[in-house]
Structure 1
Amino acid sequence: MTTTHYADAIAQVQTPLVVNQAIAENTYLMRVSAPHIAKTFRPGQFVMIRIAGMDAPLIGRAFAIYDVHNGEDGTPEFIDLIYLRKGALTLPLSAAPVGTQVSLWGPLGNSFIDDSFLGEPHSRQPCDRLIMAVGGIGQTPMLVTGRHALTNGWAGRVEMIYGARRASLLAGVDDFRAAGFALTLCTDDGSEGQQARVPDVLADRLTQLRSSSPEERIRILTCGPEIMMEKVAEVGARFGAEVLVSMETPMACGIGICFSCVAKIRLEDVASEHVAPGQCEWDYKRTCVEGPIFNACEVCW
C-alpha cells in the first residue's frame, strides 16, 4: 500500500542565499537558512525552490536536500542543495549573487529511512550493507542518507557507486569520502575511476559480496537517469537485494494538486496471471506526495 504524504506540516520561507558556488562542471551548491526544514526533514525528502520576485519560471523546481549545517546556537539551521545549471530556473540561479532572495517550501515527500511509503509507521529494518548506486545529479539525496544510516545503526556498512559521463561532472566526492562511505567512481569515458556504467559496477560488486557472504542483508538505494535506475533495479532483483528508487519526475507544485509528476506504480490487487510477461497492471502515483521513494519492484518502468 502506497501512503500519501500530504504537505500539511511544511514551512514556506523567503531567505537569502548564503552560499552559491560551482562545485563541478555546470553543478552548483546553494546554502540557505531554513531552520524548520533543517530540523524536521528526513533523508530523501526535498524542497521546492523559486527565485523571489521572478515570474519566469512561474512554478518552482524540486531539489533534494544534500546536507545540513548547524547555526551559532548548535542546532540545525542551514540546508545545502545541489543543482545542475541547465534550465529556466537554474540558469539565472547559478548567476545569482549571495544575498539573493529565494522562496522555498518543504520538507516534502517520503524518506529512505522508514517504511511509511508502504503503509508501515515504523523505522526501516536494519541491513548489513547499504549500497547507494547513483548517476548524474542523483547523488544529491545520498550524503545525509548514508550518514544517517551509519550514525543511527540501520546499516552496518555504507558503500557508494557514483557514475557520470566524465570526471568533471562528479560533484561532492570529498564529502562522501569524509562521511566514511566506501566510494567507487566510474565514468563513461574512463577519465575517473572505472570506465563503466553504474549497473555493471553494481553487478560486479554484488557478485563479489554474494560469493563471500551469501546471507548478508543488502539494501540498494538508487537515484539518477531513469534508464540507469531501471537497470539497477534489475541487477538488485537478480541478486536478491531490496532496491529503493528516488524518482526524478518533473514537478510543478510539489504538494500533490497538479498531477504533473506521476509515475507508473504497480497495482497490488491485480492477479499476476492476468498480466502479460514483461508487463504490469499499474496506476499513476504522484511522486511528490506518494514518493519520491518507491520500492523498485513496484515501479512499471
Structure 2
Amino acid sequence: MSHPDSNAAHACSPYPGMVPTAVQTRTRVVEQVQLAHDTYRIRVECPALAKQVVPGQFFMIRTANSEPILGRPFALYDTFLGPDGTPQGIDFAYHVIGKATKLMVHWTPGDAVEIWGPLGNGFPVFEGRRLLCVGGGIGYTPFLAVAREAAGQRAYGTRAASESGRKVTLLYGSRSRSHRADLSDFDGIPNFSVKLSTDDGSEGHHGFVTDLVQQEFASADRPDAVYCCGPEVMMRAVARLCEAAGVPCWLSLETPMACGFGACFSCVTRVKVDEEPGWDYRRTCIEGPIFPASSLVLG
C-alpha cells in the first residue's frame, strides 16, 4: 500500500460489472467541516480518482489500519480543484449514524484513510432545459456536482462540458431549520435555485418536500426530468408523482452495503423484468446506485 502522501493507487481486479477503472489507495484527509446537525463534509486528496468520478458514483472509505474492517459507502459530494484548475481530490458528506461515522468525526487533516472507487454508475448527463433535484435529509449531497455539471459550470470524468443556460432547481426537505444543511456550496451556480420544506414549518414550506414536487408539476415551467435521493419512503412518493406526471425520474438508492463490489449481495433491490414472476434482484453497488424509477419495484 502506498504512503499517504504519494497518492499512488493500485488497480483492483474488477468483478463482473464493476467499474474497470476502480482503484484502491491510501491517502490523507485535507479538511473536515460541519454542514448541519450531525452532518459533515470531509475532503481527501486523490487526484487520479478525482479525474475519473462522475456525479452519482460512490467510494468505499475506511480509516487506514484500524476498525471497522469494512469500508462504508459515500457518494460523491464534489471534487475540489487545485490552483491550476485540475481536480485534486474528493469531497464527501456524511451523517453520523453508526460506529464508522462516529469515528470519522474525529478525523483531522493529515490522517491516513483508505479509499476505493469510483464505484457504481452515475446520473445521466442532463440534456434537457430544466432539471429538478429532490433531496431529503442527507440526500441532497449528490446534487452539488449534478447541478454544476448540468449548468455547464464543471465537467466530470471524461464527459464533455454541458452547454450553459440549463436551469436546475433543488427541492430540499428536512425535519426542521436546525437540521437543515448549509447549502452555501451551491452559491454561484448559474441558473440555480433552491426551495425548502421543513416538517415543523420552521423554514420554507410547512410540510413534505413532495408537496413542492407537486407544485412544480402544476406550474407552467415544468421540469424535463427529476433526480432524487433521500429516505426510501420519500423516493417512492416522488417516483409515483413523476410517473403520474409523465416526467422521467432517476433515483439514487442509499441501500446499505458491505463490500461495494457485488460479492456479498447485501445491497440488492428489486427491478422489473419481463419474465415471470415479474421482478428480479439487482445489486445497488454494481447495477446502481442510480436507477430509472420506472425500472424499480417500489412496493
TM-score range, shorter chain: 0.7 to 0.9
Structure 1 position 154, deviation (Å): 8.6
Mapping of residues 102-117 of structure 1, within 5 Å: 102-114=113-125
Output the amino acid matched with 1:142: F
Output the amino acid matched with 1:149: A
User: Any idea what SS the aligned residue of 2:123 has?
Assistant: coil
1:133 paired residue number: 134
2:240 paired residue number: 234
1:297 paired residue number: 294
2:175 paired residue number: 165
* Cα distance in 2 for residues equivalent to 1:5 and 1:142: 25
**Number of positions where the alignment pairs a residue of Structure 1 with one of Structure 2:** 273
Match for residue 73 of structure 2 among 52, 56, 62: 62
* Cα distance in 2 for residues equivalent to 1:155 and 1:290: 31
User: Would you tell me which structure has more helix in proportion to its own residues?
Assistant: 1
Output the amino acid matched with 1:153: E
Structure 1 position 142, deviation (Å): 0.5
State yes or no: 1:53 paired with 2:65.
yes
After superposition, what is the alpha-carbon deviation per residue over 1:74-112, rounded to whole angstroms, capped at 9, x for unaligned?
Answer: 311121100001211000110222221110111111111
User: Any idea what SS the aligned residue of 2:181 has?
Assistant: coil
**TM-score (structure 1 length as normaliser):** 0.86
Output the amino acid matched with 1:235: L
Output the amino acid matched with 1:161: L
In the alignment, structure 2 segments of 5+ residues that lack a partner are: 1-15, 153-161
Tell me if structure 1 keeps the 8 A contact 2:151–2:189. no
State yes or no: 1:254 paired with 2:266.
no
Output the amino acid matched with 2:245: F
Tell me if structure 2 keeps the 8 A contact 1:127–1:154. no
Structure 1 position 199, deviation (Å): 1.1
User: Any idea what SS the aligned residue of 1:230 has?
Assistant: helix
Mapping of residues 208-247 of structure 1, within 5 Å: 208=219, 212=220, 218-247=224-253
Output the amino acid matched with 2:89: F
**TM-score (structure 2 length as normaliser):** 0.87
1:194 paired residue number: 205
State yes or no: 1:179 paired with 2:203.
no
* Cα distance in 2 for residues equivalent to 1:22 and 1:149: 26
Match for residue 35 of structure 2 among 23, 34, 59: 23
Output the amino acid matched with 1:147: R
User: Any idea what SS the aligned residue of 2:129 has?
Assistant: strand
Tell me if structure 2 keeps the 8 A contact 1:136–1:224. yes
User: Any idea what SS the aligned residue of 1:158 has?
Assistant: strand
Tell me if structure 1 keeps the 8 A contact 2:61–2:116. yes
* Cα distance in 2 for residues equivalent to 1:36 and 1:178: 26
Identity of counterpart residues, as a percentage? 41
Match for residue 48 of structure 2 among 32, 36, 56: 36
Tell me if structure 2 keeps the 8 A contact 1:20–1:97. yes
1:278 paired residue number: none
* Cα distance in 2 for residues equivalent to 1:44 and 1:294: 10
In the alignment, structure 1 segments of 5+ residues that lack a partner are: 115-123, 276-280
Tell me if structure 2 keeps the 8 A contact 1:21–1:94. no
* Cα distance in 1 for residues equivalent to 2:291 and 2:212: 22
Output the amino acid matched with 2:286: V
Structure 1 position 258, deviation (Å): 1.1
* Cα distance in 2 for residues equivalent to 1:100 and 1:18: 8
